[in-house]
Amino acid sequence: MLPLLNEFKEKLAVEGRKPITIDGRIKCCNFFSKWYGSENILKVSKRDIEKYKAYLMTEHKNRWGKNMTPDSVINYLIAVSMYFRFLCERKKVFLDPTLGLKLPYHKLKFRTHYPTEKEIEEIINKPDTYTYTGIRDRLLFELMYTCPLRSVEVRRLKLSEVDMKEKYFYPSRAKGGRECGIPIIPSTHQALERYLTISRPRLLKHAKRNVEELFVTNDGGPLSITMVNKIFDKYRGKNMRMHPHAMRRACAVHMLKNGASVRDVQVLLGHRNLESTRHYTALLADDLKNMQDKHHPREKRSKLFGKSLKKNENERIDSLFRRIPNKKSLRTQS
């Protein structure tokens, strides 16, 4: 048992961390304790932390049998660093062994692809709404695109957070997002009403406990991340790059294209920082550039002019080579 672990957990709660974040930090600390193996965790040295870092980056495998991503390694190391900093504050250790620890380099990448409106419409209309699971899957796609919610937010969405009378959702935001009511548009409200009256009661028939979550599986349990990914795998086409977060990204870009302000999209996405929302405007800039390259008359003319210049240059070079006598002609002249 790690010393002052409960106090560390309380400190994170006082700082305003989300329950899911706190559970993740505690899990990472317990994992480090299990790896270290010694009874006295207070004797951890900087060398031990470096060994632990190397273990995470090279030896430890995730549940899919693959090496950990740089993001995961960073999260594990940050949790341990926060814990030892807390022990230093409480005078349990004199020197923080994680002081000066260099985190793995990881360049943040923003995905530039997002589904088109046609692709979104196609996947939303694919589920068979004459089956219980089809009604559920249709609502899942509607929520992820029209609200738009992350995969974890959809899975954690509770029935008590749905106001059918006022037509609003009140989801618990992930990643420290700003919580606010999200209006339910008519098409989503219709799908939600059908799910609550027809599909959900039937799916809960074999439930072993009371389920607060809105979305449930065939056995009456809450949806898992694996189940959500399987639902997307079931309906997306062979050449369709569709995954849960792509629905959210598509909603933001499509709204910006149709005239919504960045501030409005920020509120809908639940971003605390406007910079997180401005990433989506870069996608619009790429589209604008492609459109200009393709349709602007001056751009077309410059391309044609460039081709003609290249053709004239090639002809000029060929004529120069024709003027240069070859070795055979030089011998005859001599």
Q: How confident is the model at residue 243 (pLDDT cuts 50, 70, 90)?
A: confident
> What is the pLDDT confidence band of residue 80, given thresholds at 50, 70 and 90?
very high
Per-residue pLDDT at 54: 92
Over range 173-195, report the average pLDDT.
81
Q: Give the pair of three-digit tokens for residue 206.
A: 């074999």
For the structural domain made of 117-281, what CATH number should be given? Answer: 1.10.443.10
Question: What is the per-residue pLDDT for 27?
Answer: 92
| Same fold? 5-89, 117-281 | no
Q: Which CATH architecture has domain 5-89?
A: Orthogonal Bundle (1.10)
On the question of pLDDT at 330 being above 50, the answer is: no
Percent of the chain with pLDDT over 70: 77
Tell me: pLDDT of 317 over 70. no
| Mean pLDDT, rounded, for 85-97 | 88
Token reading at 303: 């391309």
Q: How far is CA 230 from CA 139, 180, 309, in A?
A: 15, 29, 54
Q: How far is CA 197 from the centre of its chain?
A: 32
Angle at 312 between CA 309 and CA 318, to 5 degrees: 140
In this predicted model, which residue has the larger pLDDT, 188 or 259? 188
Where helices occur in 147-272 by DSSP H, the ranges are: 151-156, 186-194, 200-203, 225-235, 244-257, 262-269
Q: pLDDT band at 149, cuts 50/70/90?
A: confident
Collapsing DSSP to helix, strand or coil, 131 comes out as coil
270 contacts 150 by C-beta, under 8 angstroms: no
Q: What is the pLDDT of residue 95?
A: 86
User: Whole-model pTM?
Assistant: 0.63
pLDDT in tens, 272-306: 776 667 666 666 655 555 554 654 555 554 554 45
Average pLDDT over residues 38-66: 86
- Region 102-130 average pLDDT: 81
Q: Mean pLDDT of all residues in the chain?
A: 80
**pLDDT recorded at residue 320:** 52
Would you state the structure tokens that stand for residue 88, as one six-digit string? 């230093």
Q: For residue 283, what pLDDT is reported? A: 60
C-alpha to C-alpha distance for 228 and 233, rounded to whole angstroms: 9
Q: Buried b / exposed e across 159-169, counting CB within 10 Å, b at 16+?
A: eebbeeeebeb
pLDDT exceeds cutoff 90 at 207: no
Regarding beta strands 182-183 and 168-169, do their DSSP bridges make them parallel or antiparallel, or are they unpaired?
A: antiparallel
| Bridge partners of residue 213, in order along the sequence | 158
CA–CA distance, 170 with 159 (Å, rounded to integer) = 10
Please write down the long-range contacts of 244-248, taking CB distance under 8 Å and 24 or more positions apart: 244/144, 244/150, 244/151, 244/154, 245/150, 245/151, 246/113, 246/114, 246/115, 247/115, 247/120, 247/141, 247/144, 247/145, 247/148, 248/144, 248/145, 248/148, 248/149, 248/150
Domain ranges of the chain: 5-89, 117-281
pLDDT at 316: 57
Residue 32 has pLDDT above 60, yes or no: yes
**334, pLDDT greater than 50:** no
Q: Output the pLDDT for position 305.
A: 47
